[in-house]
Amino acid sequence: MNRLHMGVTFSKYMSMYTAAYNFCTNGKTGYDSLGPGRDLYMSLNRYFGSHVASTLEKLEQYEHEPLLALYAKEWGRYTTGAKYVNQLFMYLNRQWVPHERDEGRTEIHQVYTLALVKWRDWLFRRMQGNSSKLAVAVLELIERQRDGENIDQSLVKIVIESFVSLGIDDANPDTECLGVYTNYLEAPFTEATRACYKHKSEEFIADPRNNISDYLLKIEEWLKEEQDRVDRYLHSQTRNTLTRTCEEVLIEAHAQYMCENAQSLLEDGKAAELQLMYSYLSLISNGLELLRHRFGAQVKNAGLNAVSAVLGEEGIDAVNPTHYVTALLEVHRNYSEIIPKSFNADTAFVTSFDKAFSDFINRNAITALSRSKSPELIAKHADLLLRKNSKLVEEHDLETELNRVMKLFKYVEDKDVFLNVYTMKLAKRLIHGACASDESEASMISKLRDVCGFEYTAKLQRMFTDVSLSKDLTDNFRERSHDMDVGFDVMVLGTNVWPLNPPGHGFTIPREMQTTYYRFQHYYQLKHSGRKLTWLWNYCRNELRTSYLSQKYTFMASTYQTAVLLQYNKHETLSLSDLQTATSIAPEILTQVLGVLVKGKVLINDETEQYDLNPHFKSKKIRVNFNQPIKFDAKSESREVMKTVDEDRKYLIQATIVRIMKARKEMKYQPLIQEVIAQISHRFGPTIPDIKKAIETLLEKEFLERTGNARDTYAYVA
Amino acid sequence: MPCFSFCFPSHIKHLHSDGDSDTGKQEPEKENEARALKSHNPTVLSVTKYDPKQALALFMRYADSDNPDLIGPEGFEMLCNDAQILMDGAMALILSWQLDAQEMAKLTKDAWTKATSVLKVSSLPQLNVVVRDINDLLILRRPPLQRSGNKNVKESNEPYSRTRYWSYAEDSKKAFQELYTFSFSLAKPQPSRNIDMETAVALWSVLLVPVYPLMSEVLTFITEKATFKAANKDLWNMMLEFCQTVDTNLQGYDSDSAWPTLLDDFVTWKKSKQAS
Q: What is the mean pLDDT of residues A229-248?
A: 83
Q: Helix, strand, or coil here: A172?
A: coil
Q: What is the mean pLDDT of residues A180-193?
A: 83
Strand A704-706 and strand A713-716: pairing?
antiparallel
pLDDT score, position B152:
53
pLDDT score, position A1:
57
Higher pLDDT, A526 or A635: A526
B15 has pLDDT over 60: no
Are residues A647 and A550 part of one domain? no
Judged by CB atoms within 8 Å, which residues 175-194 of B form the interface with A? 193-194
pLDDT score, position B262:
92
A505 has pLDDT over 50: yes
Contact A706 B193 (CB under 8 A): no
- Segment A676-686, tens digit of pLDDT: 999 988 888 88
pLDDT score, position A642:
77
Best mutation site among B261, B263, B267, B269 for testing chain A: the one with the most A CBs within 10 Å?
A: B261
Give the CATH number, domain containing residue A526.
4.10.1030.10
Burial A383-403 (b: 16+ CB within 10 A, else e): bbbbbeebebbeeeebeebbe
Residues on chain A touching B193 (C-beta within 8 angstroms): 700-702
Is the minimum CB–CB distance between B237 and chain A shorter than 8 Å? yes
- The domain made up of B188-275 has a fold known as Recoverin; domain 1 (1.10.238)
- Segment A418-461, tens digit of pLDDT: 998 899 899 989 988 888 888 899 999 999 999 988 888 999 99
Residues on chain A touching B228 (C-beta within 8 angstroms): none
Is the minimum CB–CB distance between B234 and chain A shorter than 8 Å? yes
Closest CA to A411 of A660, A224, A597, A681: A681
- The minimal CB distance from B193 to the residues A669, A695, A700 is found for A700
- The domain made up of B52-144+158-171 has a fold known as Recoverin; domain 1 (1.10.238)
pLDDT score, position A423:
92
A257-266, A558-567, B67-76: lowest mean pLDDT where? A257-266
B180 has pLDDT over 90: yes
Give the CATH number, domain containing residue A556.
3.30.230.130
- Residue A348 included in any domain: no
Best mutation site among B197, B228, B234 for testing chain A: the one with the most A CBs within 10 Å?
A: B234
Do B52-144+158-171 and B188-275 share a fold?
yes
Q: Which of A629, A658, A673 represents a domain boundary (last residue)?
A: A629
Distance from CA of A713 to the nearest CA of B (A): 8
Tell me how far apart the alpha carbons of residues A405 and A385 are, in angstroms, rounded to a whole number. 10
Tell me how far apart the alpha carbons of residues A383 and A106 are, in angstroms, rounded to a whole number. 92
Residues of A with CB under 8 A from a CB of B: 669-670, 689, 692-693, 695-696, 699-702, 706, 711-712, 714
Higher pLDDT, A75 or B1: A75
pLDDT score, position A586:
86
B102 neighbors B189 (Cβ within 8 angstroms): no
Q: Which of A485, A502, A537 represents a domain boundary (last residue)?
A: A537
Higher pLDDT, A23 or A158: A158
Q: Helix, strand, or coil here: B205?
A: helix
Counting Cβ atoms within 10 Å, is residue A313 exposed (0-12), middle (13-18) or buried (19+)?
A: exposed
Contact B258 A689 (CB under 8 A): no
Are residues A637 and A623 part of one domain? no
| % of chain A at pLDDT higher than 70 | 93
Distance from CA of A591 to the nearest CA of B (A): 38
Judged by CB atoms within 8 Å, which residues 109-148 of B form the interface with A? none
Reported confidence tier of residue B17, pLDDT bands at 50, 70, 90:
very low
Residues on chain A touching B237 (C-beta within 8 angstroms): 706
pLDDT score, position B27:
43
Reported confidence tier of residue A467, pLDDT bands at 50, 70, 90:
very high
Give the CATH number, domain containing residue A710.
1.10.10.10
A650 has pLDDT over 80: yes
Is the minimum CB–CB distance between B257 and chain A shorter than 8 Å? yes
Is the minimum CB–CB distance between B232 and chain A shorter than 8 Å? yes
Are residues A136 and A42 part of one domain? yes
pLDDT score, position B36:
43
Contact B193 A692 (CB under 8 A): no
Cross-strand bridge partners of residue B88: B7
Tell me how far apart the alpha carbons of residues A353 and A296 are, in angstroms, rounded to a whole number. 6
Residues on chain B touching A711 (C-beta within 8 angstroms): 238, 241, 257-258
**Host domain of residue A128:** 4-176
Reported confidence tier of residue B238, pLDDT bands at 50, 70, 90:
very high
Contact B232 A706 (CB under 8 A): no
HSE at residue A666, side-chain half, CA atoms within 13 A, is 7
Best mutation site among B232, B240, B267 for testing chain A: the one with the most A CBs within 10 Å?
A: B232
Residues on chain B touching A706 (C-beta within 8 angstroms): 234, 237, 258
- Residue A271 included in any domain: yes
Are residues A710 and A692 part of one domain? yes
A207 has pLDDT over 70: yes
| Segments making up each domain of chain B, as ranges | 52-144+158-171, 188-275
Contact B234 A689 (CB under 8 A): no
Closest CA to A434 of A478, A370, A361, A384: A384
What residues contact residue B39 under an 8 Å CB cut-off, 6+ apart?
none
Residues on chain B touching A714 (C-beta within 8 angstroms): 258
Measured at the alpha carbon of residue A485, what is the angle toward residues A484 and A490, in degrees to the nearest 5? 65
Contact B241 A711 (CB under 8 A): yes
User: According to DSSP H, which parts of A251-286 are helical?
Assistant: 255-268, 271-281
Distance from CA of B191 to the nearest CA of A (A): 13
A34 has pLDDT over 70: no
Are residues A33 and A122 part of one domain? yes
Distance from CA of A240 to the nearest CA of B (A): 51
- Residue A577 included in any domain: yes
- Segment A293-325, tens digit of pLDDT: 888 988 999 999 988 888 887 677 788 889 899
pLDDT score, position B254:
87
Chain mean pLDDT for chain A: 84
- The minimal CB distance from B232 to the residues A692, A699, A712 is found for A699
DSSP class of residue A230? H
Contact B193 A702 (CB under 8 A): yes
Looking at this protein, which amino acid is placed at residue A595? G
pLDDT score, position B148:
65
Q: Which of A537, A569, A595 represents a domain boundary (last residue)?
A: A537
B33 has pLDDT over 60: no
Q: Which of A498-507, B151-160, B206-215 has the highest average model confidence (pLDDT)?
A: B206-215
Reported confidence tier of residue B208, pLDDT bands at 50, 70, 90:
very high
- Residue A313 included in any domain: no
Identify the closest residue of chain B to A689 by CA–CA distance: B261
Chain mean pLDDT for chain B: 80
DSSP helix, strand, coil percent of chain A (3-state; round to 5): 70, 5, 25
Reported confidence tier of residue A4, pLDDT bands at 50, 70, 90:
low
Reported confidence tier of residue B182, pLDDT bands at 50, 70, 90:
very high
pLDDT score, position A599:
87
- Residue A267 included in any domain: yes
Residues on chain A touching B260 (C-beta within 8 angstroms): 692, 696
- Segment A318-357, tens digit of pLDDT: 888 898 999 999 999 988 888 888 888 888 889 999 999 9
A255 neighbors A284 (Cβ within 8 angstroms): yes
Are residues A620 and A650 part of one domain? no
- The minimal CB distance from A669 to the residues B232, B233, B258 is found for B258
Q: What is the mean pLDDT of residues A706-716?
A: 83
Q: Helix, strand, or coil here: A556?
A: strand
Contact B258 A696 (CB under 8 A): no
pLDDT score, position A6:
58
What residues contact residue A419 under an 8 Å CB cut-off, 6+ apart?
A379, A448, A456
A185-189, A404-408, B95-99: lowest mean pLDDT where? A185-189
pLDDT score, position A30:
42
pLDDT score, position A527:
87
Whats the size of chain B, residue-wise? 276
- Residue A647 included in any domain: yes
Q: Looking only at Cα atoms, what is the longest distance across chain A?
A: 159
- The minimal CB distance from B258 to the residues A693, A701, A711 is found for A711
Are residues A154 and A32 part of one domain? yes
A308 neighbors A365 (Cβ within 8 angstroms): yes
Are residues A171 and A60 part of one domain? yes
Are residues A646 and A583 part of one domain? no
Are residues A637 and A547 part of one domain? no
Identify the closest residue of chain A to B265 by CA–CA distance: A689
Q: Helix, strand, or coil here: A716?
A: strand
Give me the number of domains chain A comprises. Answer: 5
Contact A706 B237 (CB under 8 A): yes
Are residues A577 and A530 part of one domain? no
A with B: how many residue pairs have Cβ under 8 Å apart?
36
Identify the closest residue of chain A to B258 by CA–CA distance: A712
Closest CA to B184 of B123, B250, B234: B234
Higher pLDDT, A644 or A355: A355
Are residues A162 and A67 part of one domain? yes
